[in-house]
Chain A
Amino acid sequence: MDMDAVQAMGMRVEPTDAQLVARCRTGDPEAWNQLVERFSRYVYAIAVQAFKLSEHDAEDVFQEVFTRAYEHLHKLRDDEAIRPWLAQLTRRLCIDRLRAGSAEQLEEEVEIPDVDDTIGRLDESLAVHEALANLPDNCKEILDRFFARDESYRTIGDALDLPSGTIASRISRCLTRLRGEMEGRNRGASPS
């Protein structure tokens, strides 16, 4: 399917991570906005779910991650590696934060949690969110509101001006489309 046909169906083809990083390097402000949008949940989730930082500490880490990302983006050797690079940076800053907290409380040694499984789960979720970004806006919005934002049918219905009774069936149809999108990606990724 060519790009025009995809856009005519109300779908968007999101830039790859590498394309986004390359555009950020040229100083494209829209690309930077998109990069922050794409990875903000991931960085936030590593801080609060994997390392269980307080909101206050998580905010500091979040800001430092994106500040450093902005400063050091040109040092990234492989543009496609932005996700693991951000994960590693977030992980390091969270550990620093935990150590600084324990030093303040005069504890001997802070226990650093094993976060590999949690980050693996977040990587998987990010991949599904990336697939979601390629669905039409109506599907993207309803699935994000219901699953990621944990909104009720009523809230979704009010926000999107939809009768509550139709929400469940729309979610179901959109999940089927998402599954199709994921299958398409997996076919594209498997060796021929």
Chain B
Amino acid sequence: MTNVPAYDEEKLGEILSALPPAPEAWVKWAQEIPNTRRRLERIVERADADEDFRRRVIEDPETALEEFDVVAHAETVEILRRRLDADE
């Protein structure tokens, strides 16, 4: 824990203002990471079992992600590509 000197009320207010909230959508995206990961695993499992599906995912990962209710953000697409590459 960071030790903070005994500041008066005015200074405490000033210190609080140094940390405005991050954009809400970014926070929600980060909070969804565990769910997103579970859905990505399901895509990878299906791709392992179904060669046609794998080809479709590689050609158009965005659509595959949307089918599994995952927002196709660049970071997520990249993770999916890495997971599929790792399985090859």
Which of B7, B13, B18, B34 lies at the interface centre, i.e. has the most chain A CB atoms within 10 A of its CB? Answer: B18
Q: Is B67 among interface residues, defined by CB-CB distance under 8 A?
A: no
Closest to B74 in A: A60
Distance, CA A63 to CA B7, complexed state (A): 34
The reply to whether A125 and B34 form a contact with Cβ atoms under 8 Å apart is: no
- Whether the Cβ atoms of B19 and A32 lie closer than 8 Å is no
A interface size (C-beta, 8 A): 51
**B86 an interface residue at 8 Å Cβ cutoff?**
no
B68: interface (CB < 8 Å): no
Interface residues of A in 42-73 (CB under 8 A from B): 42-45, 49, 59-60, 62-64, 66-67, 70
**A44 engages B22 (CB within 8 Å):** yes
The complex places the Cα of A77 from the Cα of B27 at a distance, in Å, of 25
Contact A144/B16 with A32-B34, A37-B27 known, Cβ cut-off 8 Å? yes
C-alpha spacing A37/B27, complex, angstroms: 7
Most interface-central of B5, B20, B33 (chain A CB within 10 A): B20
Kindly name the residue among B7, B19, B37 whose own CB sees the greatest number of chain A CB atoms within 10 A. Answer: B19
Residue B79 CB within 8 A of the other chain? yes
In contact, A127 and B30 (Cβ under 8 angstroms):
no
Could you tell me if B6 and A186 are in contact, using CB atoms closer than 8 angstroms? yes
A171 to B16, CA, bound (A): 13
Given A45-B18, A128-B12, A150-B20, A32 and B75 touching (CB < 8 A)? no
State the CA gap A178–B17 with chains docked (Å): 14
Q: Which B residues are within 8 Å of any A CB, using their own CB? A: 1-9, 12-23, 26-27, 29-31, 33-35, 37, 73-75, 79
Known A59-B26, A128-B16; further 18 A-B contacts with Cβ < 8 A? A29-B34, A41-B20, A44-B21, A63-B29, A124-B2, A124-B4, A125-B15, A128-B4, A143-B13, A147-B17, A148-B17, A149-B21, A171-B13, A176-B9, A178-B9, A182-B4, A183-B6, A185-B1
Q: List 21 A-B contacts (CB under 8 A).
A: A32-B33, A33-B31, A37-B31, A40-B27, A45-B18, A59-B23, A62-B26, A63-B29, A66-B33, A67-B79, A83-B2, A123-B2, A127-B4, A130-B1, A132-B16, A147-B13, A172-B9, A178-B9, A182-B4, A182-B6, A182-B12
Q: Which residues of A contact B (CB under 8 A)?
A: 27, 29, 32-33, 36-37, 40-45, 49, 59-60, 62-64, 66-67, 70, 83, 121-130, 132, 143-144, 146-150, 171-172, 175-176, 178-179, 182-183, 185-186, 189
